[in-house]
Amino acid sequence: MRSPCPCNSGKLYADCCAPFISKDALPATPEQLMRSRYSAFVIQDGDYLIATWHPQAVAEAWRDEITAGFRTTRWRDLAVQECAAGQDSDSGYVTFLALFYDERQRRNGFIHERSRFVRLNERWYYVDGRHIVPGRNAPCPCGSGLKYKKCCEQ
């Protein structure tokens, strides 16, 4: 795939997230893992998403839900806002904004999250995330041009 990477890194997919998703390489940082997970959502690779969730999450149980989301969600954009180290070298955080279109509801949506990652046995895993909710009068992050209270908050 000689196209731009879906994660918006500015690199080609083959030089960015593809080696991680194809299991030819391991992400070296939480940001690389987060970007590759976003790309996996875009290209609908549920196996990669499940494999990169922390083992205690038992993500395999969510396979059907993940697959169902592939049928109705079109990912539009990713903006990484902040990368931060955790308390030690084996943890980290990535704050991002991901925009999508929900075909079932016929509307734009977003995920604004501070994701937590840990490294086990030299491999990074997604643990969980804290959603960031905009103020009611703030512009809606989905890109509609409306205030949050008149858009995605409803």
Q: How many domains does the chain have?
A: 1
Residue 61 inside a domain? The answer is yes
In Å, what is the CA distance from 120 to each residue of 20, 84, 108, 135? Answer: 16, 18, 36, 36
Residue 71 lies in a domain: yes
Distance CA 127, CA 110 (A): 20
Closest CA to 99 of 4, 5, 3, 7: 7
Q: Is residue 40 part of a domain?
A: yes
- CATH number for 38: 3.10.450.50
Domain with 124 in it? 13-150
Three-state secondary structure call for residue 114:
strand
The pLDDT tens digits for 14-49 are 999 999 999 999 999 999 999 999 999 999 999 999
* Predicted TM-score of the model (pTM): 0.93
Does residue 7 sit within a domain? Answer: no
Q: Is residue 8 part of a domain?
A: no
Q: Are 50 and 66 in contact (CB under 8 A)?
A: yes
The count of other CB atoms within 10 Å of the CB of residue 66 is: 18
Runs of H (alpha helix) within 22-84 = 30-43, 46-51, 63-72
- What pLDDT is attached to residue 136? 86
Which helix (H) or strand (E) segment is 108 a member of? strand 107-120
At 107-143, the pLDDT tens digits run 899 999 999 999 999 999 999 999 999 998 999 998 8
Q: Answer whether residue 1 is part of any domain.
A: no
